[in-house]
Amino acid sequence: LHRIVVVNAVNTYKKFFAVKFDKLVVTAANPFDCGFSERKRGGSQYLQLGRNCANFGIIAHELGHALGLIHTMNRHDRDKYVTVKFNNMPVILFEFEEVIFAKN
């Protein structure tokens, strides 16, 4: 896979934040997927890093999700600041759901 890029992304998080990765296992279950599907606290976190993800920015972005970072559009208080026009959106509406982890 793209081990060097993954290691660089992990090391960047470790350098700038007080974060520790116990174990990192990278597999390519689906060679075309780039993403993070689990939204849970603690325990193992799984990333989908297919061959199209061999990019530092993409891998760092997905690692951020594994650490609990979310998009601004998913914040619990986003409706105070923006209006989301769901009728203008494609089918991927789940990407815009509010995330409520005890006030993210």
**Would you tell me the crossing angle of helices 3-16 and 56-66 to the nearest 10 degrees?**
60
- The response to whether 61 counts as a known ligand-binding position is yes
- The response to whether 2 counts as a known ligand-binding position is no
Its sign, for the CA torsion 52, 12, 74, 47, is: positive
Q: CA-to-CA distance for 88 and 63, rounded, in angstroms?
A: 29
Of 38, 62, 95, 98, catalytic: 62
- The response to whether 71 counts as a known ligand-binding position is yes
The answer to whether 5 and 55 have CB atoms below 8 angstroms apart is yes
Q: Is 62 an active-site residue?
A: yes
Question: Which residues are known binding-site members?
Answer: 61, 65, 71
Question: Which residues are known binding-site members for Zn(2+)?
Answer: 61, 65, 71
Catalytic positions: 62
